[in-house]
């Protein structure tokens, strides 16, 4: 399971109970709760975690810059097989609803200023994504083990990020999912920005987005795999 929990804003106890009830072998979390008073002053958000029933052989952080995104890998032994798990949280765009036209009180001049503000935030984030994707791809391409790459990509399915992170990997939704599987629902238009990719030797058996739980602005993404 991969789940962006929005810093536990709906209550970390509720989020923890939901995650525990899923009884997943591998749990990837993004935007884990960090004290808000402290978080605003942090250069680096310690906001991504992995929980597993299996033995972690080694792990390493992938980003060491001043971005707010974060990612790491962990090599996990599962019933005698080793899989590299990569938890992805690409730099967020830091857009708010007003920028995206969710309020209609703007004059034409204000709308023009709004577009300038959007682009001023998009361009630096895209540049950060380029460097972050390069570091994640290095961990994937140099892995001696099959890979599960999952998390919040902050990017849509026709994006540069999607194609480059998913290169030579299978999108579990494409292989085993159905419907749109949109995972981010805080805007008027739902988006698919949470993904699970795997090496081709890891076979997706099922894939779903759990729309029943609304403890975050993301829905949890849950998949089952056969280790071939």
Report the pLDDT value the prediction gives residue 128, as an integer from 0 to 100: 86
Contacts for 36 with CB less than 8 Å, ≥ 6 apart: 7
The C-alpha torsion from 30 through 32 and 35 to 37, rounded to 10°, is: 20
23-46 exposure pattern, b = at least 16 Cβ within 10 A, e = fewer: ebebbbbbbbbeeeeeeeeeeebe
6/177 Cα distance (integer angstroms): 24
For the chain, give the number of residues.
228
* Residue among 164, 165, 166 at smallest CA distance from 174: 166
Lowest mean pLDDT, pick from 102-111, 116-125, 200-209 = 102-111
pLDDT for residue 150: 97
pLDDT tens, position by position, 168-223: 999 999 999 998 889 988 766 788 999 999 999 999 999 999 999 999 999 999 99
pLDDT band at 121 (very low <50, low <70, confident <90, very high): low
Burial class (CB in 10 A: 0-12, 13-18, 19+), 155: buried
3-state secondary structure of 135: helix
pLDDT tens digit sequence for 23-53: 999 999 998 865 555 555 554 556 788 999 9
What is the per-residue pLDDT for 52? Answer: 94
Q: Spelled out in words, what is the top-level CATH class assigned to the domain 2-227? A: alpha beta
φ, ψ of residue 223 to 5 degrees: the values are -140, 155
Q: What is the residue extent of each domain of the chain? A: 2-227
């Amino acid at each position: 399971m991969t789940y962006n929990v929005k810093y536990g804003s709906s209550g970390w106890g509720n989020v923890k109970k939901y995650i525990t009830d899923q009884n997943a072998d591998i749990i990837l979390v993004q935007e884990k709760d960090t004290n808000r008073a402290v978080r605003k002053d942090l250069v680096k958000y310690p906001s991504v975690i992995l929980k597993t029933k299996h033995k972690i052989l080694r792990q390493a952080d992938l980003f060491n810059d001043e971005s707010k995104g974060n990612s790491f890998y962990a090599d996990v032994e599962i019933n005698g097989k080793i899989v590299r798990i990569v938890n992805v949280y690409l730099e967020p765009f830091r857009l708010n609803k007003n920028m995206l036209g969710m309020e209609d009180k703007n004059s034409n001049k204000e709308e023009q200023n709004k577009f300038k503000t959007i682009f001023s935030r998009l361009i630096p984030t895209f540049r950060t994504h380029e460097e972050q994707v390069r570091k994640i791809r290095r961990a994937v391409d140099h892995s001696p083990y099959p890979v599960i790459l999952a998390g919040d990509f902050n990017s849509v399915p026709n994006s540069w990020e999607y194609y480059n992170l998913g290169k030579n990997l299978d999108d579990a939704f494409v292989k085993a999912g159905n419907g749109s599987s949109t995972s981010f629902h805080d805007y008027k238009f739902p988006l698919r920005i949470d993904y699970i990719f795997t090496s081709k030797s890891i076979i997706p058996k099922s894939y779903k987005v759990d729309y029943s739980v609304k403890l975050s602005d993301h829905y949890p993404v849950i998949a089952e795999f056969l280790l071939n």
